[in-house]
Amino acid sequence: DINEPTSFNAFGEPTRPRTARHALEGRGGDHREAHNVYALCMARAGYEALRELSPKERPFLFSRSGWAGMHRYGGTWSGDVATGWPGLRASLSLVVGLGLCGVPYSGPDIGGFDGSPSPELYLRWFQLGAYLPLFRTHASLRAGRREPWEFGPEVLEHARVALRERRRLLPYFMTLAHLARRTGAPYVRPLWWGVPEDRALRDCEDAFLLGDSLLVAPVMDPGADRRAVQLPRGRWYDTVTEEAYEGPAQVLVDAPLSRIPVLARAGSVVPVRGEDGGLELEVWAPARGRTGGGLVVPDAGEGWDEPEIERYAARWQGRRVVVTREREDGAGEPSCPVRVRGLG
């Protein structure tokens, strides 16, 4: 934290003075050039120290600041994002923009850093954060508490639902983490990710794709209980009601205080946590005459073992959807239970 670095001086530069000298790989230089590299080097030093301290464990590290290449050592967060509805919007822009710049793991201070959010604002921020890579409540000591129970029983009830869904989706987040490391594709993607030529999707800045399978449409305005959602091409299912929508189109979706709209792409295979705590495949039925599929990277646990990518295909066979695991030697049975949704 504060590794820009920051200096809380009564006067003068809010960072190290320009006269501060740096080695810069032996060639020298002043702080104007080293300011952001300083944070990168601090992240690297922290990462390498954790590797040395616990060589059999994967480090978990995130830094407020950094520079190109920081994704090799950890993630980042928003820093002191302002409390307010504009701050909520800025939080999503930050995560999407960093993902496009090669930093896939990031997130905001839920509720904002420096103020006292209303119960509604806090809940909407919490619901958004549940679908972002870094999910935490945090604020200035002067800004008040950020635990969900501080905002009343109704907020606590709805926050519990969002948190449970976050935990249910942890296998999907694990898969996205491995794919980000291998391919550079971020967890959080703009709606135009697969169709950059679509102007309607390029203009949409208040919704995002979580991987290839889910579309998340957070509520960004006070008092809203419905919101317009711009859909990419294809069929999309409301993950709560299982109502189907056809894109490309703009649709109006219910967004009560209890949840934000989340839609699943038809044909998606999403790894989730089952009721028994084990891995389960949640499969959203493809449109008739079409096929679907998805990738799953099971969590190998602590350590550096390289987990195998599992590939699944979904297709209609008569009146039912059949899911198979694709192997080099042919298709086989899935390695975990399968639940098909969107059949109604």
Residue 305 annotated to the active site: no
The whole-number average pLDDT for the span 30-46 is 90
Q: Answer yes or no: is pLDDT of 36 > 80.
A: yes
Give the pLDDT score at 83. 94
> Pick from 250, 280, 298, 296: which is nearest to 340 by CA?
280
Give the pLDDT score at 258. 97
Q: Answer yes or no: is pLDDT of 10 > 80.
A: no
Q: What is the spatial distance between Cα 126 and Cα 111, in angstroms, rounded to a whole number?
A: 7
Lowest mean pLDDT among 7-21, 74-88, 156-170: 7-21
The pTM of this model reads: 0.94
Confidence of residue 222 (pLDDT cuts 50, 70, 90): very high
Residues listed for the chain: 344
Q: Are 108 and 91 in contact (CB under 8 A)?
A: yes
Confidence of residue 7 (pLDDT cuts 50, 70, 90): confident
From the number of C-beta atoms within 10 Å of its C-beta (0-12, 13-18, 19+), residue 12 rates as exposed
Give the pLDDT score at 30. 87
Give the pLDDT score at 13. 75
Confidence of residue 342 (pLDDT cuts 50, 70, 90): very high
The whole-number average pLDDT for the span 73-86 is 92
Q: Answer yes or no: is pLDDT of 272 > 90.
A: yes
Place of tokens 């409301």: 238
| pLDDT (tens digit per residue) in 173-217 | 999 999 999 999 999 999 999 999 999 999 999 999 999 999 999
Active-site annotation holder among 4, 206, 282, 310: 4
Q: What is the spatial distance between Cα 170 and Cα 173, in angstroms, rounded to a whole number?
A: 5
Q: Answer yes or no: is pLDDT of 330 > 80.
A: no
In the chain, where does the domain assigned CATH 2.60.40.1180 lie? 188-265
Give 188-265's CATH code, choosing from 2.60.40.1180, 2.40.30.30, 3.20.20.140, 1.10.1740.10: 2.60.40.1180
In the chain, where does the domain assigned CATH 3.20.20.80 lie? 31-177
- How is residue 332 annotated by DSSP? E
Give the pLDDT score at 117. 95
The whole-number average pLDDT for the span 266-293 is 96
Active-site annotation holder among 13, 57, 80, 326: 80
Domain spanning 31-177: CATH 3.20.20.80: yes
| pLDDT (tens digit per residue) in 137-176 | 988 888 888 999 999 999 999 999 999 999 999 999 999 9
Give the pLDDT score at 234. 96
Quote the strand ranges of 11-141, DSSP E: 62-63, 75-77, 106-107, 109-110, 136-137
Lowest mean pLDDT among 104-118, 225-239, 319-333: 319-333
- How is residue 293 annotated by DSSP? E
Residue 276 annotated to the active site: no
Give the pLDDT score at 134. 96
Give the pLDDT score at 4. 80
Give the pLDDT score at 33. 86
Give the pLDDT score at 144. 82
